[in-house]
Structure 1
């Protein structure tokens, strides 16, 4: 791959951080070409979902969802937190994909017929750059994507990027509302998330805006920026999972990204046999009488079992996810691993409700529904999600097994389960969000831990683990930046994985 290609506009094909073939291999990424927004958009959306659903196993370990399985020799880098600039990198994947959205933005700028494509690209640019800032803090933003005009872009400050992302989201919502519906072309099938339903895209954008603002709850200007919630509150928020699906197939490289990482190959071999349940998450599910536990983790002898992260001799723990394979055909069942055709979740309804619950508790303008009702709706949305595995459940049904189990669950007079019984409402909200994010968005759970300190999983117990019992606060900039963009990354100073923090961190 050419030097500095991550900042160029040469990429039209879907980009991921590896070199494997994926669902949208349209062209050689090193050979400039042109394509319509309708061709590039589904590639970019699919890759955004793949980054979230398949790139953050390490955060699953750190957050107690996962642990190395018995019978395997786990990486000492993983167990001891002694990682380097080459480990856990998502930098290139994000920038390659953001270049695709930038391409769409440039192709559609000022074109009234393409306003919906432009608005989606604006929203997803905000979504992608939020991911970069949350991983690395300061990153190239205003100087990125200038091609040969600027191969060595300087870094923007995280707070400045966040501020502009909120403006992007507001602008996208305004553009959708102001579009001339007689001339604006619907994204239709090119929109593999909502099928061209721009009302749903406004709700997605508004939910993302809420997350961007609440993420800054620890900053000195939170009181000022939180007022911005009111300007778009009437647009509403997501009430159903936003999942991307370009038509995943049971063909290696074209499977749903979560299945591709943790499920099975086309031939039936296990993709991640060394990854299993973490004792911390399993313990919380069990202590809270949470029926989702045995749906997220494969029971053994009727019980779910988790490994202590870093234990010298792991037990034979539960598998992460649960599915049945028979005669080479994948059978849908309870558990996180549904099928190779499953949607890749970009934003869940459960997270949307928990964001609203926190905002309401903080007195912010998100509507008239109480924080407790929003909290309970978040739990219900998690139980109702296709990821949990209840059959026959629909969002409009009032008498499903999922809803009944959810009510039974949150009616327990337990701290961090029942809202009224919880001594710290923010802790309760973030804890329940942690459960709801199991598997498909472990990065977001890590973000919320760094922001709030909840739920606070233990550090690795491995011999030689560094950090004095602390979890890492971030990953390093990639070695490609140190070798190619030396002066600009060097201006960020020495990065320490335990003391260097994202600007919004607690």
Structure 2
């Protein structure tokens, strides 16, 4: 062993001497690709950043946590058995691309190179809005994050963590700045695969995002929340009808199609949960027949709908090894077997139920009462899923508005498969009451994601400071806005 070390040191010294004795040679443009770009191309960066959207629209873990679905023969996330999560993919992927766009466009000298890809103010507005949307997703998973000292590379490989409160303040400022510079009379950015450069849609996206941010902090900073919420309402651009819903549309190519279709191409890992099925059944909710398919190999012993039409709908226990998946209902085949079925991002049902909660808080919602917006939210959800109008009317009549419990329940139901938002709203409201998996080693539904172990190893001083401020790095430390 000692001889090997000596030999390796000798070799290293020789190599070092060899390179230090060579002249510095200028190879000119030998390594430049004459057919490639010499500067960052904002249109390509934007497209690349938007390609991360399906990681949010189909976040199975969050959907499992909120018990819309259950796992089949391989329970993991539904038993809360994954204890740490790595955020690096976001920092080196979408967030890096958007950060690069913003830096390039905010510098007048470098912004000139981006002029061919659309009006600078609209490119910048879109990048800021999308970056904020992703950042909210991230901070609502982990809490504290490196932000003001992030993206510095070797200049600062150990960035400090920003508090979630400061991140939310930054996000509100970013959305306001983006909406102020956004110009709907001009073209949008090239490379925009979400809206094709339609800046009216981006304005709606921005104000919907502002409303979502405001509602999230409504219990911890009600004054700020009310101000931002009422600004979003006053914009007049919110989604009030399903025709204005914002969705992520998939492609036919295997690299761009629906993750749900990919999940069910060769395996059947997910089934409808007993929690969702029984909630819909007990409330005679006609969305049962739109969300799910009848089980192939079993029937439910105690149907509730007239004529027992719900007998074929069977939910699986949360966290159990549900080995014979044909005994349970699958998610509707319109989603799991279709490549092109879009995923909702912001919907009329979300807007209406947020307005109902805002009205309940005494905020200015423009027009309409909490009860009216509550009913409109149910109507929008039912219409979105193709429920018959008479069935919708019967359901609304049987489930009148009585306060926050009804709003929270309808949010949980209408956010079906919208995992991150459903999980966040459930954590904020603590409603509806969900029973944790009895098969888990720690029988508590997670309220955040813990950091990957490498974070502590590689950035220990800042990690320790963050833990001292935020709390233990586990799945059960509540985030800043989660005060109920």
Please state which band the TM-score falls in when normalised by the shorter chain: 0.7 to 0.9
| Aligned-partner Cα distance in 2 for 1:430–1:503 | 20
Partners of 1:91 and 1:132 within 8 A in 2 = no
State the match for 2:31 in structure 1.
none
State the match for 1:154 in structure 2.
160
User: After the TM superposition, which of the residue ranges 294-303 and 126-135 deviates more from structure 2?
Assistant: 294-303
Partners of 1:50 and 1:258 within 8 A in 2 = no
State the match for 1:434 in structure 2.
412
| Aligned-partner Cα distance in 2 for 1:281–1:90 | 30
| Aligned-partner Cα distance in 2 for 1:129–1:278 | 30
Given the alignment of the two structures, is residue 460 of structure 1 paired with residue 437 of structure 2, yes or no? yes
Partners of 1:238 and 1:349 within 8 A in 2 = yes
| Aligned-partner Cα distance in 2 for 1:33–1:44 | 20
**Structure 1 residues 225 and 297 mapped into 2: Cα distance closer, same or farther (>3 Å)?**
closer
Q: Which aligned pairs between 1:82-93 and structure 2 lie closer than 5 A?
A: 82-85=81-84, 87=85, 89-93=86-90
Partners of 1:248 and 1:342 within 8 A in 2 = no
Indicate the SS of the match to 2:336.
coil
Given the alignment of the two structures, is residue 128 of structure 1 paired with residue 143 of structure 2, yes or no? no
| Aligned-partner Cα distance in 2 for 1:315–1:353 | 39
Q: Structure 1: give runs of 5+ residues left out of the alignment.
A: 1-30, 324-334, 391-400
More helix by share: 2
TM-score under structure 1 normalisation? 0.76
Given the alignment of the two structures, is residue 356 of structure 1 paired with residue 337 of structure 2, yes or no? no
Q: Which aligned pairs between 1:47-446 and structure 2 lie closer than 5 A?
A: 47=52, 49-54=53-58, 56-69=59-72, 72-75=73-76, 78=77, 80-85=79-84, 87=85, 89-93=86-90, 96-109=93-106, 113-177=119-183, 181=185, 184-187=186-189, 190-219=191-220, 221-236=221-236, 237-239=238-240, 240-245=244-249, 248-249=251-252, 251-260=253-262, 262-264=263-265, 269-270=266-267, 273-300=268-295, 303-311=312-320, 316=325, 317-323=327-333, 335-337=334-336, 339-385=338-384, 388=385, 390=386, 402-412=388-398, 414=399, 418-419=400-401, 422=402, 425-439=403-417, 441-446=418-423
| Aligned-partner Cα distance in 2 for 1:63–1:129 | 21
Post-superposition offset of 1:313: 6.2
Q: CA RMSD in A?
A: 2.6
Post-superposition offset of 1:319: 3.9
Post-superposition offset of 1:230: 3.2
**Structure 1 residues 263 and 187 mapped into 2: Cα distance closer, same or farther (>3 Å)?**
farther
Given the alignment of the two structures, is residue 492 of structure 1 paired with residue 471 of structure 2, yes or no? no
| Aligned-partner Cα distance in 2 for 1:205–1:354 | 18
**Structure 1 residues 274 and 82 mapped into 2: Cα distance closer, same or farther (>3 Å)?**
closer
**Structure 1 residues 450 and 232 mapped into 2: Cα distance closer, same or farther (>3 Å)?**
closer
Q: Which aligned pairs between 1:468-487 and structure 2 lie closer than 5 A?
A: 469-487=443-461
Post-superposition offset of 1:293: 1.3
Q: Which protein shows a greater Rg?
A: 2
Q: Give CA deviations for 1:137-163 in whole Å, capped at 9, x if unaligned.
A: 110111112233322211000011101
| Aligned-partner Cα distance in 2 for 1:257–1:90 | 20
**Structure 1 residues 105 and 370 mapped into 2: Cα distance closer, same or farther (>3 Å)?**
same
**Structure 1 residues 57 and 224 mapped into 2: Cα distance closer, same or farther (>3 Å)?**
closer
